[in-house]
Each structure stands twice: as C-alpha cells, then as structure tokens.
C-alpha cells in the first residue's frame, strides 16, 4: 500500500492554457474524490467517482473542469482555459470498498499557479 | 445548508499543554466526523474519527468529544508537542451526500517548546 499519489506536484501555467492532473488511488479503493484547497481554507469538494462512474459534481466544478476515471483506477482532472482564480491546491482522496467507506485518504496534492 | 464551523482560527500552546479545537455542524444527516492534520505543502492526513453513536473516542494523545444534541464536536490533544504544530481540520460527511467531506476552516496550531 503506497498511498494516494498525484502528478505533477506543482504546475505553473499561463492564463488560458489547459492543464491536466493525474491521481492514482490506493489499490482497490473504489471511491475517488477530488477537492480544491485555497490558501488558508479547508478543502472543498469538487467531484467523486465510484469505480468508473462519476456520481456527483459540485457547483464549483464549472464547464471548464472535467474529470474522468476510465477504468476505475486512476483519475484525471482537466482544467481548460485556466483563469487566475483556478490557482489552488488540487487534492485527490480515495476510500476503500469494504467497511470504512467514509474514511478518505488524501494524496499530497497538485499545486497550480496560473499567471 | 451543509456547513461546518471551526474555532479558533489559530492556537498557541506550550509544550505539554492541552490543545482544544472546536467544531459545530448544521446538517443532522452527517454521521461521520473525522479530524485531519495538515503540514505545509502536504495533503491532509487522517488523525481520528468518530460516529454519533459514541460520545468520546481516544487514540493515543488525541481525543474526540462529541455532543449530538448540541451538534458540536471537539479535538483534544494531550501533552502537546512541537511536532504537533500543523493545521487541523474537522470535517463531516453523511451517506446521503455520497460520503463527500465538508471541512471546517482550519485551526493553525503552534506548540512552543
């Protein structure tokens, strides 16, 4: 069990560019969550998957954001036409399929800076 | 409204002292209350969690106290150590909301040696 991993750890981009982040959950965890955290705030829920199905999206997830989990394992979060307000830490978490469904284990995050 | 309010925003404690962080929630559908610890540049790490069927849970130096009627819960860190200096977040979730976590605003804890 190597924990949740995220790539890249840091990303600097210019306004208007597209960026894509990857999350690899803990093996056999069937739920995968994306959160966004701005400086000095708690993480805010964006979306989550159960296996490959995207079950819920927050209203924070504008049309410029899209997430996928094609084979029910890793997930990607893409932001199109980035804006300076997208600058934040993007966190991924996963939770196990049996018992403790609510226990979410977080990755180290991807810090995005939009110039 | 799904909201979790956390206080204080910052806390300074002497080594060996007790750190107490409080949270209050509004949504009675919440049925799982974890606390996370976060160091700068890192993701949140689960510390301890409680369900509303118990009033207290202790793991090592960390204790959660839960008051269902008041819709409040708190984290107590006994014998606080400088290594405990971090930001602490309370959170809440419920099966009706897909188990997504709603976080408090965070408490920045500093433990002086």
- How confident is residue B104, by pLDDT bands cut at 50, 70 and 90? very high
Give DSSP secondary structure letters for B74-87: EEEESS--GGG-EE
Confirm if A25 and A103 have CB atoms less than 8 A apart: no
What is the DSSP-derived secondary structure letter of residue B6?
Answer: E
The values of phi and psi at residue A85, to 5°, are -70, -10
- Chain A positions touching B6 (Cβ under 8 A) are 42
Residue keyed to tokens 């559908």:
B29
Q: How many CB pairs under 8 A join A and B?
A: 61
pLDDT of residue A109: 97
pLDDT in tens, B34-55: 999 999 989 999 999 999 899 9
| Shortest alpha-carbon distance between residue A50 and chain B (Å) | 10
Closest Cβ–Cβ partner in B43, B49, B102 for A106: B43
């Amino acid at each position: 069990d190597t924990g949740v991993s995220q790539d890249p750890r840091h990303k600097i981009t210019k306004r208007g560019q597209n960026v894509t982040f990857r999350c690899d959950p803990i093996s056999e965890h069937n739920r995968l969550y994306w959160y966004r955290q701005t400086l000095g705030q708690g993480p805010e829920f964006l979306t989550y998957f159960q296996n490959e199905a995207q079950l819920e999206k927050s209203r924070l997830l504008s049309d410029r954001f899209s997430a996928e989990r094609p084979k029910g394992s890793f997930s990607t979060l893409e932001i199109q036409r980035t804006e300076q307000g997208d600058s934040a830490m993007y966190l991924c978490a996963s939770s196990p399929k049996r018992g403790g469904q609510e226990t979410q284990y977080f990755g180290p995050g991807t810090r995005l800076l939009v110039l | 409204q799904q909201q979790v309010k956390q206080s204080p925003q910052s806390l300074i404690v002497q080594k060996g002292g007790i750190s107490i962080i409080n949270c209050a929630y509004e949504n009675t559908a919440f049925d799982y209350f974890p606390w996370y610890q976060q160091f700068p540049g890192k993701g949140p790490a689960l510390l301890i969690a409680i369900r509303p069927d118990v009033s207290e849970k202790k793991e090592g130096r960390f204790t959660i106290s839960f008051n269902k009627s008041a819709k409040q819960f708190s984290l107590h860190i006994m014998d606080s150590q400088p290594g405990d200096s971090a930001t602490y977040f309370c959170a809440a979730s419920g099966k009706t909301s897909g188990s997504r976590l709603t976080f408090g605003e965070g408490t920045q804890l500093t433990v002086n040696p």
